[in-house]
Amino acid sequence: MSPTHAPAGAARQGSLRELNLALVLGRIAAADRPPSRADLATATGLTRATVSAVVEDLLAGQLVSEADPAPRAGAGRPARGLVLADQGPAGLGLEVNVDYLTVCVVDLAGQVRHRTVHRADLRPVAPADALARLVDLAGQARADAARQGLTLAGAALAVPGLVDDAGLVRLAPNLGWRDVPVPELLSGHQALTDQVPGVPALVVDNEANFAALGELHSRPPGPASFLHISGEVGIGAGIVLDGALFRGVRGWSGEIGHFPVHPQGRPCRCGGHGCLEQYAGQEAIVAAAGLLRAELPADTATARLAELAEAGDPDALRALHDAGTALGVAVASVVNLLDLDTVVLGGGYAPLAPWLCPPVLAEIAARVLTAAWSPVTVRPSTLGPEAAAVGAAESVVRRIVARPAGWLGRSG
């Protein structure tokens, strides 16, 4: 019998069970310490019997497991706490950027269980070929996940550009992509993940958005509102307000790399002039420091800059100071507009933060009206350079936690 013809009572029971599963799993996910069944009954207002039945379903579906009991003095068996499972469903996170591909697997508990970074200049590579390479890496990740008892329940792909609701990459200027139908190009390949009801097979979004989500969900939890800036060849920002990503009307917010910091300045790939990217993008900093990027493997450019700055090389220090000043001008505008008190420097900016933060802070002090009595914190991201791929994988995991019935009811 199809669900639409089921008796109303059965439908209500089904949806009540789904709600209770999500309620209990959400509490386990958000808890600071592994809660016992009794803790969960108190926190949710459900009866002990209902909580026990829900927990049995979650245990059977490999969504939670029982933590080792804490040693307890005195008589009696200590109650076992519940934690998110480290086997069962996991999310596949993918990133295509200008000079690398990243694939990672994140389990329900937020642990990164697999990661591969493939360095290559992808600008001369056709989108279909770049995606084919990504599919190969994803296949290896899927096999590695299976060996660890994990099932990939959905995938999310981060790209350095503007993505529409259908996953079409409208424009990724630094990659040279325009109107690239990513889901269509990937559909010709073997499925990246298993099919799980309620979890999209593939979500495509801007890398800065996923990196900001990764930062938002990192442990220990940081502030609920902040600006996260990913500094790669291009520069993107993710705006998080009250614990949620501010996406803009069409999902295209955060293009801080094209803030004009010198309106009559250098031409930019976007068609404008004097964009932030031309002064604070990775290639711009490397060139200003007198390093020829062509002579450096892509993954060592940032490390080499940091090394030179550490050693007091005047060209590297000046290049980083000038980049930080340009970045600070743009950041100050955002802080004036949105009243944020935390700015996180991520991606390739994170290892350069010791030299970028002082000029960024100086510009904020000079340009933000409220800075004198309400200081703004500027700090590096706690996530590594794979923040966007990790954030993408976590977005899959969060869907499963929000709607566990889909995973429990999957076929096969």
Binding stretches for Zn ion (CB under 5 A): 258, 268, 270, 272, 275
Return the number of the residue (161 or 222) whose C-beta is nearest Zn ion: 161
CB of 171 to Zn ion, least distance (A): 11
Judged by beta carbon, residue 122 or residue 268, the one nearer Zn ion is 268
Return the number of the residue (31 or 270) whose C-beta is nearest Zn ion. Answer: 270
3-state secondary structure of 80: coil
Q: Shortest gap between Cβ of 287 and Zn ion (angstroms)? A: 16
Instruction: Rounding to the nearest 10 degrees, give the CA dihedral for residues 44, 46, 52, 55.
Output: -40
- The minimum distance between CB 165 and Zn ion, in angstroms, equals 24
Rounding to the nearest 10 degrees, give the CA dihedral for residues 217, 218, 221, 224.
-40
Cα angle 393, 397, 400 (rounded to 5 degrees) comes to: 145
Q: How many residues does the chain have?
A: 412
Q: In this structure, what is the dihedral angle of CA atoms 29, 117, 134, 204, given to the nearest 10 degrees?
A: 40
Encode 3-40: b = buried (16+ Cβ within 10 Å), e = exposed. Answer: eeeeeeeeeeeeeebbebbbbbbebbbebeebbbbebb
**Distance between CA atoms of residues 306 and 349, nearest Å:** 10
- Which helix (H) or strand (E) is 187 found in, with range? helix 182-187
Closest approach, Cβ 323 to Zn ion, in A, equals 15
Nearer to Zn ion, 235 or 392 (CB): 235
Q: How far is the CB of 399 from Zn ion (least distance, A)?
A: 33
Among candidate residues 230, 253, 154, the one with its CA nearest the CA of residue 383: 230
Handedness of CA 386, 388, 390, 393 (dihedral sign): negative
Nearer to Zn ion, 22 or 270 (CB): 270
Please, what is the minimum distance in Å from the beta carbon of residue 270 to Zn ion? Answer: 3
Q: Cβ(123)–Cβ(61) under 8 Å?
A: no
CB 261, min distance to Zn ion, A: 10
CB of 259 or CB of 407, closer to Zn ion? 259
In the complex, minimum distance from the CB of residue 277 to Zn ion, in angstroms, rounded to a whole number = 6
367 vs 382: CA distance, rounded Å: 27
Q: How far apart are CA 115 and CA 382, in angstroms?
A: 17
Which CB sits closer to Zn ion, 27 or 258?
A: 258
Q: Name the CA radius of gyration of the chain, rounded.
A: 23
Judged by CB, which is closer to Zn ion: 265, or 272? 272
d(CA 213, CA 179): 25
How many Cα atoms are found within 13 Å in the side-chain-facing hemisphere of 140?
14
Closest separation between CB of residue 132 and Zn ion, Å?
29
Q: Which is nearer to Zn ion, 109 or 270 (CB)?
A: 270
- Report d(CA 95, CA 177) in Å as an integer: 14
Least distance CB 236 / Zn ion (angstroms): 12
Q: Which is nearer to Zn ion, 113 or 258 (CB)?
A: 258
